[in-house]
A and B are shown apart, each in its own frame.
Chain A
Amino acid sequence: MSLLVFVGVNVVGDPVDMLINPEADQAEIDRVIRHFGLDKPIHMQYWHFLTNALQGDLGKSFIFGMPALQLILMRMPATLELAFSALILAIVIGIPLGVYAGLKPEAKVSRTIMASSILGFSLPTFWVGLMMIMVFAVMLGWLPSTGRGETVMVGGMELSFLTLDGLSHLLMPALNLSLFKMSLVIRLARAGTREVVHQDYMKFARAKGLSESRLIMVHLLKNIMIPVVTVLGLELGGLIAFSVVTETVFAWPGMGKLIIDSIHLLDRPVVVAYLMIIVLMFVVINLVVDVLYSILDPRVRLQDVQS
């Protein structure tokens, strides 16, 4: 994977062109080339990059003059906060809507829900973000349009959602980022509900005299959570990637905005470091989802001792 990124970043483009500050003079260019070992053959470069990367050294940002890795880690909490808030919104709003649409597929409300979920798939995120700013920030003046607002330090991370001001800043970007996933959750929950309600075990549970609420909250929900969690877990990576767009629209100071700025400013080490971290995150997310999946679905759990 690291090879892929390295080759991608260093071979497809011209490293010297982008690695060096455009205003640098010839001496600086030579120094940087030597510093990054760009005069050496390509496999040596990769080796150099790899050994450095393993030691946590992904190079220094030209713009900020600090290690790229540190820079990204500093911005990461903001992005994670945004991504997780979006994920939670997608679940909290998407599942009830999807379940409702699944339970009453013919109802007008359900049709409206499904139509909006199609819209959610089609609407470009950034434009929806703009429209949200226009309506809620500019016209109605209810919510602030940019930044994170007041933050609180928790365990070395700045978090917005703990203050009222921060929460009001978080709401729009999180909602914007979650729209696409929400549509996905609605569809998954609806499809799952439609399948599960017709199963014999639902009817048997009703024959036991259980209340509707227990039927839906326990019997139905636990079954449809399996596909939803699996898919959503895998989509968390997508959320982090897509936060690039949302962060730009709402000027949210996360690593997505950082990478866009870095691309604009040709701050290459940051771009490389960002990609390495994203790849790493994807691997970790996949692992976590696998574990979660086995917790949720007893059928895939390793056989217990007794059997």
Chain B
Amino acid sequence: MPESTLDVRHLRTHFFTRDGVAKAVEDISFSLGSGEVLGLVGESGSGKTVTGFSILGLVDAPGKVVGGEILFKGRDLLKLSEEEMRKVRGNQLAMVFQDPMMTLNPVLRIDTQMIEAIQAHQNLGKVAARELARDALGKVGIASPDERLRAYPHQFSGGMRQRVAIAIALLNKPDLIIADEPTTALDVTIQGQILHEVQRLCRETGTSLIWITHDLAVVAGLAERICVMYAGRIVEAGSVDEVLDRPLHPYSKGLIESVPSHNQRGMRLNQIPGMTPSLLSLPEGCAFRTRCPKADEACAGMPSVQKAEGGRHVFCHHPHREAA
């Protein structure tokens, strides 16, 4: 068995809507070692979140995982029964959501929501579970956790709620946490704190982390490897430094160049022309070709995954040459 914690192979998740089939995730593969941090980058609607939900088996109708394998510690999650999957969720595999204002149930106290998460997986009494919950709150930097346990979500600020959500994700010491843009809805200062906190906790516990974001700056400081997604496919994968410094795919390049801090003052900010195509009506061949500066006739045919040095992958007919 390879030592990778997670091995996603040719995953395909489609949404069967009234207007047609939306291929939200189409044939993506990536793997993640123990304790590794992977950044999953892309704009809204590129399929990052659906990828996360697919791994957890939480894709809602009309969506459905239609193909591929998700090997988690050697087991294919897609083949597990609902009850077996439930035992994995929140136990070995946890997720933190994007909007902290929405992830906690407004009518239940924090302790209820934490204790139930523990008791779903561990055979512990209320008192012991409560101890654990209190410790977890302390770890994510919440002051006077004893009092806070008795509070309701509306008594917390957004940043505090996200800390609670992270504490809940950590409760059962998972092997992998999927964090879906957990800092996007927060103030910049809070963002930094949370980022730092998560990084520290994952390092301490040896937890693997998939960090889903559209913010390249966040990934740069956090992840070891990144996957860039566009229109349901991974268009480029590789180590953070190499991808950010020498992007191979025109889309990654455009994405990096459109980050303001990347440019010199006074220089015109680069932008990717056009809009993300609708998943219901993707252009034939390469989905990016309508916006790509290098597109030609060849791009009307489906590109294939090309390997580059340093274990990098790119999904393009005309990858940027290292020399260029």
Contact = CB atoms under 8 A, between A and B. Distances in A.
Answer yes or no: do A and B interact. yes
Q: Using C-beta atoms within 8 Å of the partner chain, give the interface range for chain A.
A: 20 to 34
Contact of B168 (A202, A208, A211): A208
Q: Using C-beta atoms within 8 Å of the partner chain, give the interface range for chain B.
A: 35 or more
A41 interface: no
Scoring A202, A206, A223, A304 by chain B CB atoms within 10 A of each residue's CB, the highest score goes to A206
A200 B97 contact: yes
Contacts of B147: 306
Interface in B82-122: 86-91, 94-95, 97-99, 102-109, 112-113, 116-117, 120-121
A298 B152 contact: yes
Nearest to B171: A208
A299 B108 CA distance: 11
Scoring A200, A207, A307 by chain B CB atoms within 10 A of each residue's CB, the highest score goes to A207
A306 B56 CA distance: 37
B108 A222 contact: yes
Interface string A200-217: 111111111111001000
Nearest to A209: B90
A164 to B, nearest CB: 39
B165 interface: yes
A211 B86 CA distance: 7
A306 B86 CA distance: 36
Contact of B94 (A200, A205, A207): A207
Interface in A268-302: 296-299
A206 to B, nearest CB: 6
A280 to B, nearest CB: 32
A209 B88 contact: yes
Contacts of A214: 116, 120
A204 B95 CA distance: 8
A202 B107 CA distance: 12
Interface string B131-167: 0000000000000000100011011000000000100
Given A211-B86, A304-B151, A307-B155, A218 B116 contact: yes
Interface in B249-301: none
Interface in A202-244: 202-211, 214, 218-219, 222-223, 226
Contact of A209 (B91, B97, B104, B154): B91
Given A203-B97, A304-B155, A219 B105 contact: yes
B58 A306 contact: no
A171 to B, nearest CB: 34
A204 B89 contact: no
A12 to B, nearest CB: 47
Contacts of B172: 209
Nearest to A198: B60
A226 to B, nearest CB: 7
Contact of B102 (A201, A208, A304): A201
A122 interface: no
Contacts of B116: 208, 210, 214, 218
Main secondary structure of the interface of A (DSSP, over half): helix
Given A207-B58, A210-B116, A218-B116, A199 B102 contact: yes
A211 B120 contact: yes
Given A208-B89, A214-B116, A297 B107 contact: yes
B149 to A, nearest CB: 12
Nearest to A223: B107
Contacts of A297: 107
Contacts of A199: 102
Interface string B32-44: 0000000000000
A200 B99 contact: yes
Contact of B90 (A200, A202, A208, A298): A208
Nearest to B87: A209
B117 A208 contact: yes
Given A218-B116, A307-B155, A207 B95 contact: yes
A199 B151 CA distance: 21
B103 A204 contact: yes
Contacts of B60: 198, 203
Contacts of B151: 304, 306
A298 B106 contact: yes
Contact of B89 (A201, A207, A299): A207
B161 to A, nearest CB: 11
Interface in B48-98: 53, 56, 58, 60, 86-91, 94-95, 97-98
Contact of B106 (A201, A207, A307): A201
Nearest to A196: B105
B107 A206 contact: no
B162 to A, nearest CB: 12
A209 B102 contact: no
B89 A206 contact: yes
A218 to B, nearest CB: 7
A207 B90 contact: yes
Contacts of A198: 60
Interface of A: 198-211, 214, 218-219, 222-223, 226, 296-299, 304, 306-307
Given A210-B116, A306-B147, 9 more contacts: A200-B97, A201-B106, A205-B105, A210-B86, A222-B107, A226-B107, A298-B106, A298-B154, A304-B151
A-B complex: 3 closest residue pairs judged by Cβ atoms: A209-B90, A200-B102, A208-B90
12 contacts: A205-B105, A209-B87, A214-B116, A214-B120, A218-B108, A218-B116, A222-B107, A298-B107, A298-B109, A298-B152, A299-B106, A304-B151
